[in-house]
Structure formats: C-alpha cells, structure tokens
Structure 1
C-alpha cells in the first residue's frame, strides 16, 4: 500500500483527522504509565514488597533526577540520528521493547525484591519512557508548520493523554470488585497489563498510518555557538519559565489533593473527584483548541492561567462532606486542566522554528526535552515546598487536625497556584511569536529549503513510508 509523504514546503500537514488521531494514540499508554509511577508504585513497593518508606523514597528521588538528566541527552540524540523512516519514528519503535520489559518487571514483581531491583528497572523504564515521550512530542511538532494546526495536533494528543489516565484509573476499580484479596498487587498488575497491551498496538498504528514531514538534515554548529543561541533565545526562556511555574502549581495540587479531599473536606469518594477533573479536561480540550485558533495560543494560555487563578479559591466554599458541591467545583477546575499542557507544546514547536531561523539548525527534540525537564523540576520543587509547609502548620495526615491546621492546608493548596496563575498570564501575555511571526518564520525556512533543493542539496530528501493508505 502506498503512503503519502508530507512535503517539506507545504503550508499544512495535509493529514486527515483520523491520521492525527492515529498519531495521538501512543499518548494514552504514555500517560497510563506515568500516573501509576507517581501514585501507586511507591506505596506498593514500600508496603507489599516490604522495602520501607525511606528506601523507596530515596530510590524514586534518585530515578527522578536520572529522568531529568536524560531528557536533554535523549532529546539531542533524537535530533541528530536520521534513518530512512525519518528522525522520530524509529526511536518510538525502539522505546517499545524497553518499556515492555521494564513495565513487566516493575508492575508484576515476584517477592521478595531488593532495592537494587527497583532502582535498576526504574532507570530502564525512564530511559524508554523519556525516549518515547520526547520523540512523540517532537514528531507532532514537525508534522505541520501551520500555527493553528499545531494546536489541533497537540490537542488530539492531550485528549489521548487524559483518556489514558482516566482508563488506567478505572481498571483497578473493576479489579478490586472482582478480587477483594491481595488488592494492591492485583491493582498494580492490572495497570501494567493495560500498558503492555496498549503500547505496542498504538505505536504500530501510529508509525504505520502517519508519515514524517521531510526536514533538513542538521547542520554542524559549534557547541559554544549553539549554547549562546539557546541562552539568547528569549521566547524559549519565557516559555520555559512559564512551564516551570506551571509544573510547580500542578505539583502542589497533586501532592495535596488526597490530604485535602480525605482529611479536610471529609469526602468518602475522593477518587471520584480525580475522574471528574480528568473527564472535564478531556471534554473541554477541543473547545480550548478552537479558542486558541481565535485568540492565538499565547493569549489563550494567559486566559487559561487567569481562569485557574480565580477558580481555585472556590475550594474555600466547600463544606466538609458536601460531595456534590465538591464535584461541581472540580468540574470547574478541570475545564482548562488540559489547556496549558497542549498549548505549551504547540507554542514550543513555533519556538523551535524561531530557533531554526536564528541559528540555522533544527533542534526540536532538544527543545521538547527542555520543556519536559522544566515541568519535572517544577513538580519536584512543589514537593520540596508543600511537605515542609504542612509540617510547619502542624498538619498530620490521617488524624483529626485542628481548624487552624486544616485552614493552613487550604491556604497552601490555593494561594501558590493562584499567584502562579497570574504570573504565567503575565509572562505569556505579550509573547513575541504569534501567528504572523510564525508565518514569517516559515516563509524564511521554506525559502532556505527551496534554495537548498535547487542547489542539489539533500535537504529535501524523501522519507521512506512505512505503510498505510489514505
């Protein structure tokens, strides 16, 4: 079967909606692996596997720093190695067996296990996960040069991410209903099988159905000059600052959610709020994509941040035990939970083009690795802030706390994210790369590409299809 290649100089990708959907599919297992690693694996290994809180905490901290370190390394590698498939799809395929083996070993361990066992397989898992994530995001950025279509593609990907989180949360619910004994092990194993089954299927569909866009071969730039261009790239720095702030805000909310819902608001079905929050986000992503086409990406991101800043104080209005009002509040909070992530990624594609114009080299993988790195650092900083803050105000999880301690937790949950929402809006409000600037950048790059092709260069060399039909 034939495969239509995406031309290098076209104004848009030419991809149909079903192909964009096929591209987005691997985001579901990406998210389905990420959520259990943060929420379920640490207590499982600390409790059921008998490693203890201190050791498990140290291992997950070490591997998180390892994950941050490997982001730019794998991003640069993704940019520089090109095959007949292109620059991205082969890395995605390579990541699959790494992910499958490590997920099996982590989610279905045979007791007893040691700390070195957990450390080793977490390191391997993060290599596969980072390689898959960065390559997939970079591939999406390069599918089209069009300002608005990039939002559409990243919006599809965000819907798949959120859907992956929703379904991986629902799987343990059915497992717990069918197997009341040894619930923790069965719950973790079910999440592992979800990833093991979904990942190869979705990757196969994506790489078979969606071609890569032809991009110029990377040119050699001395590393000192490359770093200088990177540091002087003000749009990049502004976007990374905003993403770092967003990571801090999201990390605070994530770290304190269970304490707020169970210990302060006395809600019996706290997990329901997570599903409500994610579902609202999934439903409203297409609306946010449409708004970004109308207002521009940076302004939509600013409005989204302002919306978060003014709605998170609704937490103060929830009375203890009032589940349905809490559901209404979390629907409101979830309306734009997916807006920031897909807009950051879509804007980063434009920033990478700007860097290409200024520096003469396409470093999309590196730029997306920086984006994932700042968000992870922000989440880590949030943990470093919230837990000492809880200790300072005298809040103790799992017991009846004083009114002042409960108020203190609400303040820690609400005030930093609200302030950060205003800060992100301020940083992004007059972002210099809008639709007009992006169009000018693409005009310059297309002119360079045409000149290179006219001179007989290999910048327009085709990328071999894998298969599939229109």
Structure 2
C-alpha cells in the first residue's frame, strides 16, 4: 500500500468525531424523536409517521443537489472539509428547534413540527453528505478504508449516546418534572458538543484522493452516471432494507420498555447506553472479521443472525426482560460491525463507479446512498407510527391496551426481523469482492479503466 494512502490514528479519530456529531441527530431521530412527538409533543402516532415519510421525500431533491455542489466545490481546504465549518452552527441550532414545543394551536403545532423537522433535515444533509464524501477522499486503499470505517463506527456511538441514552436522564436532572424543557436544553448542550466535533474533524483530516478532472456542475449528467453503476443500485436496496430494520428496532425501544416491560427511564437508559458500548465493540470487530472473511458473505450471515435473534426476543416472557436485554446487546454488537462493513462497501462502489465510467462523483454517490438510508429511516419511522396507530396506541397514556402492547412487541422483534432477512438476501447480488476491488484500485492508480 502506498504510504500516501496510510492514515494516522489521529486522522482516523478526528474523522470519526464528525460522524459522532452527525449521530446526535441521526440516532435521536431513530430512537427518541418518535417518542417525543407522540408522548411529549402530543402528535397522534399516524400523523407522526406520515410526517416522517413526507418530509424525508424532500431529500430526493436536496441530497443529489448537495452531492453535486460538494463535488463541484474547490477550495484550498478541499471539496468536502469546508462544509463542516460552514454548516456546524446551523446544525447545532436545528437540534434545539426540532425539540422545542411552541404555544400554538394543535394545527399550528403540526405546522411548526413539520417546519422544524425540514430545517433539521436540510442541515443534516448539508453537513453529512460532505462529511461522508470526505471518507472516500482520505484514502483509496480498500483495507485502509475498512480500518477507517471501523474506527468511525467505534467512535460514532458516543454521539449516538448523547442523542439517545443520555438525553432523558439529563433532561430529568436539569428540569425535574418538566421533561419537555429538559430535552430542549439537553439538545442545546449536545448541539454545541457536535459543533466542536465537526471543527476537530475539519482540523485533523486531509483530502488526498482527487477527481480525474474538474467539470462544471451538472446534476442530471451525474445522476445518469450514477445509475450506470449496478453495484450502487444493489447497495441501495441493501441500505434501504437495513435502515428500515434499524429504525423499527431503535424507535421501538422506548415504547417497548415503557409499554411491554412496564419499566421507566432508568431501564431505557440501560438499554440505550448498553447498545452504545455494544455497538462500539462490534465496530472494533469489523476490521479483523472483514479482513479475514469475504465482506459479502459476512454481511449476509450477520443480517440473517440479527433477524433470528429478533424473532427469539418475541417469545421471551416479559418477567425475563434481562434475557431480552442481553439478546438486544448481542444484536447491537453485530449491527455495530454491520455498519462498518456497509460504509466500506459504499466506498468500494464509488471506486468501481469511477473505474467503470471514468468520472469520480464521490459527492453524488454518497448523497444517493445517504438519500436511500434516510428514505429507510423515513419508511421505518412511518411504519412505526402506522403500526402504533393500527394497534390503538394512545399518545401520552401511561396505560395501554393489550392490542397496543402486542403491536409494540412486534415492532421491537418480528417486524424488523423481516427487513433484516430482506437485507441479507439483497447483498447476495453484490459483486465487489476484495480481490476484484484490489484490481480496480490498481487500475485507477495506473490510469486504467473498464474500457481502456
């Protein structure tokens, strides 16, 4: 491996802090935001689910636009790093606004929720697409990239913990009896921390992999080039199915602990904080396992295993909730490694696309993948809300019907398992093995392409 592709530990940690910052928003959107909107803000579950889906459809426009803009950016700091500085403060502000409750009418509160959610989504897009694109610009070596992603997903749960496991305890500590204000102030604190993480990411990274040539901004052209990449199309299905599953399980945790287990914030924190450490451990394992075994086969089996474990949880009696917790943590370990493999394959598909089309559209490639991921988040959130409504879940009620309890149990176990099975099946069609990628990277470094 050329020395220029070797990344220092400092750079890997600095880069990873950017994703930790992003996951303050991403993980809270998965695990807390649905609960906040139904049980604190007061939205009906069906309204919440529909809002999640409709607002995210805007990403079909904003994500490719942001990807193309990032690709066309040219500064002395590179194409992607400047956006981390430019957007980090608005990103922090959006964290506060989305968890604010205005003194409006019911209709006004729905309008405000939609507006705040759109603003947060736009800020997340504007900073996360350049951030994720930056990973592909740091190194072109497949193994070094897997190492980078392993570091990234080991550190990412720190931000996830701020947006999930720690937000409710901190809210109750700061404002006892006023969880709404406590969550708002907690997110303000976490937003500032996220802003600092992005600044560190900017200062510690360097863009080394450059496009073959600079061309004028042309979104339509880049989209056409993107869809010529059949490996990206396969990964899109894989990413979508996986994120629907992740969001269903993650979003159901608070409901499951409250409604099925009849436990409070302390057990919710145990589930979420334990998930953070489990995910970090799983990410550490991604590098040795991903190096020793074929990433494609490994991805198939880990997703299938998560599905089986999820179904088993459905049959565990609630009095043995410790067993459910242990299985949940095992699943989080596996998913932690799954995320590193996922983004390693996204980078491989980007390199393959350049080799096949002679154009490196990193920003557009990453933007398209992030759109698919966010679409999975939106569909997962919508299914969450719709299933809650279908099983007669009552927003804000401390006592739920037997039907609602069953619906929540299914959301935490069987329903996401179905999507994990689809995830496993989809990756069977992916063809970028390590040997094939090594040949592609060698060709790119010597100026050779698929049709040279």
- Indicate the TM-score class for this superposition, using the shorter chain for normalisation: 0.7 to 0.9
Higher relative helix content: 2
Q: Greater Rg, structure 1 or structure 2? A: 1
Contact persistence 1:267–1:323 (CA under 8 A)? no
The two structures have a TM-score, normalised by structure 1, of 0.82
- Which of 152, 157, 165 does residue 157 from structure 1 map onto? 152
Provide the residue aligned with 1:209 in structure 2. Answer: 204
Indicate yes or no: 2:62 matched with 1:66. no
Q: Deviations over 1:360-386 (max 9, x none)?
A: 111111111111211222233234445
Residues 96 and 191 of structure 2 are in contact (CA less than 8 Å); yes or no, is this contact kept in structure 1? Answer: no
Judged with a 3 Å threshold, the aligned counterparts in structure 2 of structure 1 residues 124 and 331 are, in CA distance, closer, same or farther, namely closer
Task: Tell me the distance in 1 between the aligned counterparts of 2:227 and 2:244.
Answer: 22
Q: Are the structure 2 counterparts of residues 59 and 305 from structure 1 closer, same or farther at C-alpha, using a change threshold of 3 Å?
A: closer
* Structural mapping, 1:62-461, within 5 Å: 62-107=54-99, 115=109, 118-168=113-163, 169-196=165-192, 198-216=193-211, 217-219=213-215, 226-268=222-264, 269-389=267-387, 392=390, 398-399=398-399, 401-402=401-402, 406=405, 410-411=409-410, 413-429=412-428, 431-448=430-447
Alpha-carbon contact 1:350-1:433 (below 8 Å) kept: yes
**1:44 Cα deviation from its structure 2 partner:** 5.6
1:68-89 Cα distance to aligned partner (Å, 9 max, x none)? 4311111111111221111111
Q: Between Structure 1 and Structure 2, how many residues are aligned? A: 440
> Alignment partner of 1:429: what SS?
helix
Residues 25 and 431 of structure 1: CA distance in aligned 2, closer, same or farther (over 3 Å) = same
CA displacement at 1:246 relative to structure 2: 0.7
Q: Secondary structure at the match of 2:176?
A: coil
C-alpha RMSD of matched pairs (Å): 3.3
SS, match of residue 83 in structure 1: coil
Residues 218 and 361, structure 1, Cα contact 8 Å, conserved in 2: no
Secondary structure at the aligned position of 1:331 is classed as helix
Deviates more, 1:216-225 or 1:282-291: 216-225
> Is the Cα–Cα contact under 8 Å of residues 140 and 209 in structure 2 kept in the other structure?
no
Aligned-partner SS, 2:5: coil
TM-score (normalizing by structure 2):
0.85
Question: Secondary structure, in 3 states, of the residue corresponding to 2:64?
Answer: helix
1:15 pairs with 2:7: yes
C-alpha separation in 2, matches of 1:296 and 1:304: 12
Cα distance, 1:61 vs structure 2: 5.0
Distance 1:101 1:362, change over 3 A: same
1:263-320 deviations in whole A, cap 9, x for unaligned?
Answer: 2333442342122222211122111221011113222222211221221122134222
Q: How far apart, in 2, do the equivalents of 1:144 and 1:232 lie?
A: 24
Runs of 5+ consecutive residues of structure 1 not aligned to the other structure:
1-8, 451-470
| Aligned counterparts of 2:426 and 2:49: Cα–Cα separation in 1 | 34
Mean Cα displacement is larger for which, 156-165 or 135-144? Answer: 156-165
Instruction: Find the aligned partners of 1:57 and 1:412 in 2 and give their Cα distance.
Output: 14
- Residues 179-230 of structure 1: CA deviation (Å, up to 9, x unaligned): 414232023211221221x233222222222211140333469877654443
Q: Secondary structure at the match of 1:335?
A: helix
Give the unaligned 5+ runs of structure 2: none
CA distance, structure 2, for counterparts of residue 321 and residue 424 of structure 1? 31
Native 8 Å contact 2:31 2:251 kept in 1: no
**Separation of aligned partners in 2, 1:155 and 1:289:** 6
